[in-house]
Structure 1
Amino acid sequence: MELAGDPKMVITCSCLNCQKRTGSVFGVGAYFGNDQIVSKQGDPKLFVDTSDDGRKLYRSFCPNCGSTVHWEAEFMPNAVGVAVGCFEDPKFPEPVAAAWNRSKHDWVNFPESWPKSDTQEFKKNA
């Protein structure tokens, strides 16, 4: 997938789906607007799942290595999430928030400055 510009948002997610998807205790996703997708190459396989809050999640993965490359979710209809590890860039922007902390492993700690949510909903500042 070829993308234009910087991600709109980078977050960590500790939902059970991300834990299964990554084989780790949380995932890190970069979210881009659909208008930032320049092109898609290859022939990824699609896996449809239901998120922890009951909405559909469409994950595309590489049929050769099995890595999740990108996903689209009903809760963010105008965006695509890309696994930050796919960028192979240690200088990729730091996450700005941590979602689904209710299923986070107790020994995982995120920076105090990051907004945190027990779901994927974050309160907007008034």
Structure 2
Amino acid sequence: MTTREACCSCGQLRVICQGEPVTVALCHCRECQRRTGSAYGIAAFFARADVLVSGTYLDYDRPADSGFRVLHHFCPSCGSTVFWEPSRKPETVAVAVGAFAAPDFPAPRKAVFEQHRHPWAAVVLDR
């Protein structure tokens, strides 16, 4: 079984994920743009039972564009958002793909909120 580790910039907050992600999605919503400081965010959704968190974190709870709430968890030392819990999918935990720092990580299979996509951000999905 594949084991992957994601961590914050300073390494204090770590998330161990077992197995393959349920899905990997690229999100163009404005909140993901603000959260990442980039044109989009990419999340790997894992079954809650396959995720183990170590280290301390602070929370930020916000409404999503879908109307559901999202509880983000970030490192209190470096500020990196490493994982979050979407209330719309309570059986999963989302982990920031960039926190794995693994170029061989599975590619996104879908994109959401494309109406907010930056016109210069061309995306090729692995479908």
Give the TM-score of the pair, scaled to structure 1.
Answer: 0.84
Aligned counterpart in structure 2 of residue 102 of structure 1, from 75, 97, 115: 115
Structure 1 residue runs of 4+, over 4 Å off?
none
CA contact (8 A) 2:74 2:83 kept: yes
CA contact (8 A) 2:108 2:125 kept: no
Aligned counterpart in structure 2 of residue 17 of structure 1, from 31, 34, 50: 31
> Quick check: 1:78 aligned with 2:91?
yes
The 3-state SS of whatever aligns with 2:91 is: strand
The correspondence of residues 44-63 of structure 1 with structure 2, limited to 5 A, is 44-63=57-76
Q: Where does residue 105 of structure 2 map in the other structure? A: 92
CA contact (8 A) 2:27 2:112 kept: yes
Amino acid in the other structure paired with 2:46 = F
- Structure number with greater CO (CA < 8 Å, separation at least 6) is 2
Q: Quote the sequence identity (%).
A: 36
Q: Between Structure 1 and Structure 2, which shows a larger proportion of strand residues?
A: 2
Q: Where does residue 111 of structure 1 map in the other structure? A: 124
CA–CA distance in structure 2, aligned partners of residues 56 and 67 of structure 1:
20
CA contact (8 A) 2:110 2:125 kept: no
Deviation, structure 1 residue 53: 2.0
- Unmatched tracts of structure 1, length 5 or more: 115-126
Tell me the matched-pair count.
113
Deviations 1:35-64 (A, max 9, x none): 212x22111100001111221110000111
CA–CA distance in structure 2, aligned partners of residues 53 and 74 of structure 1:
10
Amino acid in the other structure paired with 2:119 = D
CA contact (8 A) 2:28 2:116 kept: yes
CA–CA distance in structure 1, aligned partners of residues 109 and 66 of structure 2:
22
